[in-house]
Amino acid sequence: MQITDILALLGGLALFLHGMQMMSAGLEAAAGSRMKGILERLTANRFLGVLVGAAITAVIQSSSATTVMVVGFVNAGMMTLNQAVWIIMGANIGTTVTGLLIALDVGELAPLFAFLGVVLMVFVKEPRLQHIGQILTGLGVLFIGMDMMSSAMEPLRESEGFIRIMSTFSNPVLGILAGMIFTAIIQSSSASVGILQALANSGVIAYANSVFVLFGQNIGTCITAVLASIGTNRNAKRTTIIHLMFNIIGTILFTALFLLFPIASVVDGSLVLPGGAGEALAQLLPGTPAGQIALTHTSFNIITTLLLLPFGNYLAKLAVRILPDRAQQAEEGEVMQLAYLKPVQPGGKEGGLGVSAIVVDQLRQELRRMLGMARENVSDSFQAVLDRDVGQLEQVEKREEYVDFLNREISRYVSHLIAIETNEQGSAVVSSMFTISGNVERISDHADNLAGYTRMLVAKGTAFSALAQEEVRQMRDISLEAVTALLDERAGDPDWLAGVARLEQKIDDMTDAFRRNQLGRMRDGICSDEACILYSELLTDFERIGDHALNIAQELTKVHTAL
């Protein structure tokens, strides 16, 4: 093998992987938000779940992406563990589409795909057509890279050393390990299967050896979901266990099948069965090595799904047995942590295909949790002012610190996400989440300010008049009504937004009326100077709570409209 062949091999591999990445990115940009909608409407019907998982994976060309989305939805509580089983089974079927496309040997049309794609990307301004162009360009580049790899590897057929290495894969354990490790490294079974097909087309690896590598590749693709489950809840981790179990069971079954019935040897012509059975069997499989691998890959996933489909619920129960619930060791809230999002690690490379579909729901759950804390602070702070009770304020301050922590973590997460998000609609939605987080934090800040007024009232021995206290009760009630409305299941509907806007306007009107009442009490000498100053500050915080509630409602409506 000459240096030019090595360079051609590396160049072909680069084009192949880049083409696949381009195609996936284009598909995500064109259909990423729809994928989330389809998954959210999923029912508990196992057959529908398998079909949805297969269809989405066939479109986005990545079972890893579908599984990562499923992990995210389970973590966010949007999908049950049992529903996740069917999606994962379907995803394993859908991922075979890339291999089937390669097996169809449309490489001669690759330059045309690439040309049409570039024309759409360069000369058309319509975003959706540009995404289609990116898909076509990626498909063309993928096949061009595939052809380059196949041509560059042909001289390896004459290399005794390389042939010896490939022949060791006839050992099932070595073949499975090789496929598993390589796929885990590149984190794409579609890409690793395509590379295996290129090796087979070049005659470098025999079909009898390639099947065991192929089985290992199905296990190796689980690494992406395993990485995605780090920092998630127990059910999300169980989802990755189900993904692993599916592929491990399938590998055990097919390895036993190929060892007991030497189908691969028949195809390679090294075994002749009596009565011409070997020849008949060989005719059932495609003539090209790439086609044989594609058919085996598809059969592996379809047959494993059919065998395990009746036992899907048992797989979920087994995952629970493998990873049982932990005993509750501390009360919730003692340790500040994200409940639905993974903390962003310095230099981390989280993200990728389908990321907005996962994170939108996880962010929504985290923000609801954060908003619930802010609501409790508003309630407790107003009550502390009315009762002049500083004993209630320690919990308010702890929650305020927690809300600040969540705002920082969510802001870091959103900043990280926007940097890698390719879908404009997804970016707009995530930006709205960032705005919501900041406004929730400000509501909690104003509640904390109210807590400070309680301390001043007690320290100075000052009290509000009976009339002022009645107004504070009215402030408390409408503030809680406004913040509680943000947690309504109808959040985002136009009628709901109009209702929140009316509450905000009522808060403004009450603020003006209460200021006039305060001036009247000052003229009548009912209110002391210090109490008047604190009351004026309290009115300002009250009004700001209404403003931030309306800001949140407007952003929630944008999110609802976009999705």
Q: Specify the 3-state DSSP secondary structure of 116.
A: helix
Q: Say how many C-beta atoms besides its own lie within 10 A of residue 101's C-beta.
A: 17
What contacts 24+ positions apart, CB below 8 Å, involve 130-133? 131/26, 131/27, 131/29, 131/30, 132/26, 132/30, 133/26
Residue 554 is predicted with a pLDDT of 92
Residue 346 is predicted with a pLDDT of 42
What contacts 24+ positions apart, CB below 8 Å, involve 445-449? 445/400, 446/378, 446/541, 446/542, 446/544, 446/545, 446/548, 447/374, 447/377, 447/378, 447/380, 447/381, 447/396, 447/400, 447/541, 447/545, 448/377, 448/381, 448/396, 448/397, 448/400, 449/537, 449/541
- With CA atoms as reference, report the closest residue to 92 among 325, 250, 223: 250
For every one of its 563 residues, what pLDDT tens digit does the chain have, with 9 covering 90 and above?
A: 568 777 887 887 788 777 767 776 666 666 555 555 555 555 456 777 788 778 777 765 566 667 766 776 676 566 677 778 888 888 888 777 766 666 665 556 778 888 888 898 888 888 778 888 887 888 788 778 767 766 776 665 566 665 666 667 778 888 888 888 887 776 667 777 777 877 777 777 777 778 888 888 888 878 767 766 766 667 778 888 888 898 899 999 988 888 887 655 444 543 333 444 444 444 544 567 777 788 888 888 888 888 988 888 888 889 888 888 654 333 344 567 888 776 554 444 444 434 455 567 778 888 999 999 999 999 999 998 888 888 878 888 889 999 999 998 888 888 777 766 556 666 778 788 889 999 999 999 999 988 888 888 888 888 888 888 999 999 999 999 999 999 988 888 888 999 999 999 999 999 999 999 888 888 877 777 778 888 889 999 999 999 999 999 999 998 888 76
Kind plus residue range of the DSSP H or E element containing 428: helix 424-460
For the chain, domains (ranges, CATH) are 3-322 (no CATH), 355-562 (1.20.58.220)
As a whole number of angstroms, the distance between CA 480 and CA 379 comes to 7
pTM: 0.56
Q: Alpha helix (H) ranges present in 168-222?
A: 172-186, 189-201, 207-220
As a whole number of angstroms, the distance between CA 293 and CA 279 comes to 18
Q: Alpha helix (H) ranges present in 61-171?
A: 63-75, 81-94, 97-103, 110-123, 127-153, 160-167
Asked if 507 and 482 count as a contact pair (C-beta separation under 8 A), the reply is yes
Residue 353 is predicted with a pLDDT of 39
Asked if 506 and 514 count as a contact pair (C-beta separation under 8 A), the reply is no
As a whole number of angstroms, the distance between CA 316 and CA 87 comes to 13
Q: Which residue has the tokens 């940009």?
A: 29
Kind plus residue range of the DSSP H or E element containing 370: helix 355-387
Helices and strands (H and E) in the chain: how many: 23, 0
Residue 309 is predicted with a pLDDT of 87
Residue 324, token pair as written in the block: 């049982």
